[in-house]
Structure 1
Amino acid sequence: MSSTHRTAEDRPSGGERPPGGGRPPSPLRQLAAASVGNAVEWYDWHAYSFLAVYFAEQVFPPGTGNSLVPLLSSFAVFAVGFFMRPVGGLLMGAVADRHGRRAALTVTILLMGAGSLLVALTPTYATAGVLAPVILVLARLVQGLSVGGEFAASTTFLVESAGPGRRGLFASFQYVSTTFGQLLASGTAALLAALLSEAQMGQWGWRVAFLGGALLSLLGLWIRRGARETLPGALTGVRAGEETSVAERRAARPGLFEALRHYPRQSLLICGITAGGTLAYYTWTTYLPTYAQVNAGFDKGDSLTVGTLSLAFFALLQPLGGMLSDRIGRKPLLLGFSLGFALLAVPLLHLVTDAFVSLLLVQCAGLVLLTGYTSIAAAVNAELFPARIRAAGIGFPYSLTVALFGGTAPYVGTWFRQSGHAGLFPWYVAALCLVSFCVYLTLPETARQKLDE
Structure 2
Amino acid sequence: MSNTAATEATEASEAKAIHDLTSRQRIFAIVGASSGNLVEWFDFYVYSFCALYFSSAFFPKGDPTAQLLNTAGIFAAGFLMRPIGGWMFGRIADRYGRRNSMMISVLMMCGGSLMIAALPTYETIGNAAPLLLLLARLFQGLSVGGEYGTSATYMSEVAEPGRKGFFASFQYVTLIGGQLAALLVLGILQLILSHDELKAWGWRIPFVVGACAALISLVLRRSLHETTTDHARKTEGAGTVGALLRNHTRAFVTVLGFTAGGSLIFYAFTTYMQKYLVNTAGMSTTTASRVMTVCLLIYMALQPVFGALSDRIGRRTSMIWFGGLAAVCTVPIMTTLGGVQSPVAAGALIVAALAIVSLYTSISGLIKAEMFPVEVRALGVGLSYAVANAIFGGSAEYVALWFKQAGHESYFYWYVSIMCLLALIVAIRMPDPTRHGHLK
TM-score tier (shorter): 0.7 to 0.9
Structure 1 residues 58 and 226: alpha-carbon distance in aligned structure 2, compared to 1, 3 A threshold:
same
Greater displacement, 22-31 / 72-81: 22-31
Residue 30 of structure 2 corresponds to 31
The answer as to 2:381 corresponding to 1:378 is no
Match in the other structure for 2:179: 182
Cα 1:371–1:207, aligned 2, differ >3 Å: closer, same or farther?
same
**Correspondence for 2:130:** 133
After TM superposition, give the deviation of residue 357 of structure 1 in Å.
3.1
Match of 1:305 in 2: 290
- Once the two structures are overlaid, the 10-residue window that deviates more, 378-387 or 441-450, is 441-450
CA shift, 1:160, in A, is 0.8
1:279-428, aligned counterparts within 5 Å? 279-296=264-281, 298-350=283-335, 351-352=337-338, 356-417=343-404, 421-428=408-415
Write the distance in 2 (CA, Å) between the matches of 1:61 and 1:209: 23
Per the TM alignment, residue 139 of structure 1 is displaced from its structure 2 partner at its CA by: 1.9
Identify which range, 374-383 or 193-202, moves more after superposition.
Answer: 193-202
Is the 8 Å Cα contact of residues 43 and 207 (structure 2) preserved in structure 1?
A: yes
Map Cα deviations across residues 215-269 of structure 1 (whole Å, 9 max, x no partner).
1111110111121000122xxx458xxxxxxxxx585744343212221111111
Deviations 1:401-453 (A, max 9, x none): 11111122233334445555544433332232222222222111122346359
1:86 paired residue among 70, 80, 83: 83
Change (3 A) 1:398 1:126: same
Q: Deviations over 1:310-347 (max 9, x none)?
A: 22211211111111111111123222222333233333
Match of 1:13?
14
**Residue-pair matches, total:** 426
AA paired with 2:384?
Answer: P
Amino acid at match of 2:397: P
Aligned residue in 2 for 1:246: none
* Gap runs ≥5 in structure 2: 1-10
Counterpart residue identity of residue 438, structure 1: I
Q: Distance between the aligned counterparts of 2:266 and 2:98, measured in 1?
A: 26
Alpha-carbon spacing, 1:202–1:300, altered in 2? closer, same or farther (3 Å): farther
Partner letter of residue 400 of structure 2?
Answer: G
Structure 2 contact 277–283 (Cα < 8 Å) conserved: yes
CA gap of 1:349–1:134, structure 2 versus 1, over 3 A, is: farther
Query: What is the TM-score with the length of structure 2 in the denominator?
Result: 0.86
**Secondary structure at the counterpart of residue 257 of structure 1:** helix
- Provide the rounded CA distance (Å) in 1 between the counterparts of 2:205 and 2:399: 28
What's the offset of the Cα at 1:128?
Answer: 5.2
Q: Which amino acid aligns with 2:187?
A: A
Who is 1:43 aligned against?
A: 42
User: What is the letter of the counterpart of residue 14 of structure 2?
Assistant: S
The answer to whether the 8 Å contact 1:102/1:229 transfers is yes
1:345-375 deviation per Cα after TM superposition (whole angstroms, max 9, x unaligned): 3333341567543543343222111101001
**TM-score with structure 1 length normalisation?**
0.84
2:253: which partner in 1? 268
Distance 2:283 2:193 in 1: 19
Alpha-carbon distance in structure 1 between the residues aligned to 2:277 and 2:269: 11
Paired letter, 1:13: E
Q: Structure 2 counterpart of 1:41, which letter?
A: E
Shift of residue 114, structure 1, vs aligned partner: 1.4
Question: Could you say if the C-alpha distance between residues 294 and 204 of structure 1 is closer, same or farther in structure 2, counting changes exceeding 3 Å?
Answer: farther
Deviation of 1:171 (Å):
1.7
* Aligned 8 A contact 1:31 1:158 in 2: yes
* Distance in 2 separating the partners of 1:341 and 1:388: 33
Quick one: percent identity of the two aligned structures?
40
Q: Take 1:394 and 1:288, find their aligned partners in 2: how far apart are those partners?
A: 27
1:390 to partner: Cα distance = 0.6
Structure 1 residues 286, 118: closer, same or farther in 2, change over 3 A? farther
Deviates more, 1:222-231 or 1:68-77: 68-77
Q: Is the 1:291–1:413 Cα contact (8 Å) retained in structure 2?
A: no
Displacement of 1:291: 3.3
Q: 2:101 aligns with which of 99, 104, 121?
A: 104
The alpha-carbon distance between structure 1 residues 124 and 48, as it changes in their structure 2 partners (threshold 3 A), is same
**Cα RMSD over matched residues?**
3.1
Task: Return the match for 1:170 from 160, 163, 167.
Answer: 167
Q: Give the whole-Å Cα distance in 2 for the aligned partners of 1:191 and 1:214.
A: 18
Q: Could you tell me how far 1:72 is from its partner in structure 2?
A: 4.3
Q: Match of 1:440?
A: 427
Structure 1 range deviating more: 41-50 or 368-377 = 41-50
Greater share of helix residues, 1 or 2? 2
TM superposition shift of 1:297: 5.1
- Asked if the contact 2:371/2:437 (under 8 Å) is kept, the reply is no
CA, structure 1 residues 253+331, in 2 after alignment: closer, same or farther (shift >3 Å)? closer
**What corresponds to 1:244 in structure 2?**
none
State how far apart, in whole Å, the 2-side matches of 1:111 and 1:194 are. Answer: 31
